[in-house]
Homo-oligomer: A and B are copies of this chain.
């Protein structure tokens, strides 16, 4: 993305990060609003989606100036929300009851499928539901609905709800909410998580029996193991998103994000993707998770892949969507009959 190179290479100081990304976001937003005004919905949807991603980058890790951060975040949410009805397929903003408050999510349904299976998408540290339009495409193309949610410590929830290691709690809330949707087959729920979400997803799969398959991308086994390795900016964001005062408290809290004694409880099919050159999280995290999980498990270690193997999307992006589609395929007498 030309934007990324241009915006980041023009930056001299971290203090300008949020304003530089917000300025670039505003370019996309302006073009998006022009398209809206001239009645070009598809174009508007695409541009406002990009604007939202740039505003999200603007607020990402920018915990040193929370007013600026929050202003950028608000624009990210607004632009993404405005884009939703213009996407192909369209998205729908939803709110999931959770411990007396609501978690915001985005639901997209594949076209032409009556009651599709649904995959819950879990963001990472300081990551949010606005980032995932591109990630949704291969699943939607394979007949799987997607539900991206801002969980505790993430996106819209980060102000009121701190990061929690037992992420099965919000996942269970999402599964409860899904049960009431009669346009989704809630007997077929998948889970997808990226970066720190690559920890949250298997963690939740260990405890929530309604999860039928889990895709974990680039997550730690326990966040404490990576603590000294991740940039100080990341540690600081973790502290702020955990609503804690000191580094020491943050380090202790990081230790509660752990699959120790938990991974073995995972019995559903599990697909783990990890870049062996990841400099944030040691790849042994993926090996240990795969070794301890009790269900059918696939480990894809990408030899020349960095964090989340983002530099090698072609070795896993579509392939993992194929895997998920197979796990969530209809089963039982009806399905057998339908498949001849």
Give the interface of A toward B (CB within 8 A).
Answer: 2, 27-28, 31, 35, 38, 40, 42-43, 46-47, 50, 88, 138, 141-142, 311-312, 314-315, 318-319, 321-322
Contact = CB atoms under 8 A, between A and B. Distances in A.
Given A2-B311, A31-B314, A314-B47, A322 B40 contact: yes
Given A28-B314, A38-B322, A42-B318, 15 more contacts: A2-B311, A27-B314, A31-B314, A31-B315, A35-B318, A35-B319, A35-B322, A42-B138, A42-B141, A42-B322, A43-B318, A43-B319, A43-B322, A46-B318, A47-B314
A21 to B, nearest CB: 15
A14 to B, nearest CB: 25
A311 B142 CA distance: 31
A171 B321 CA distance: 41
A46 B31 CA distance: 29
Contacts of A141: 42, 88
24 contacts: A2-B311, A27-B314, A31-B314, A31-B315, A31-B319, A35-B318, A35-B319, A35-B322, A38-B322, A40-B318, A40-B319, A40-B322, A42-B138, A42-B141, A42-B142, A42-B318, A43-B319, A43-B321, A43-B322, A46-B318, A47-B314, A47-B318, A50-B314, A88-B141
A324 to B, nearest CB: 12
Grouping DSSP codes into helix (H, G, I), strand (E, B) and loop, the A interface class, with mixed when no group exceeds half, is: helix
Contacts of A312: 2
Contacts of A319: 31, 35, 40, 43
Contacts of A321: 43
Contacts of A47: 314, 318
Contacts of A314: 27-28, 31, 47, 50
Contacts of A138: 42
A265 to B, nearest CB: 30
**Residue with the highest number of chain B CB atoms closer than 10 Å, among A28, A311, A315, A319:** A319
**Residue with the highest number of chain B CB atoms closer than 10 Å, among A28, A35, A318:** A318
A38 B314 CA distance: 16
A35 B319 CA distance: 8
Contacts of A88: 141
A260 B312 CA distance: 48
Nearest to A326: B40
A215 to B, nearest CB: 15
Nearest to A323: B40
Nearest to A45: B318
A7 B213 CA distance: 36
A11 B46 CA distance: 35
A315 B188 CA distance: 41
A43 B314 CA distance: 9
A24 B47 CA distance: 31
What 3 A-B pairs are tightest by C-beta distance, nearest first?
A: A43-B318, A40-B322, A2-B311
Contacts of A27: 314
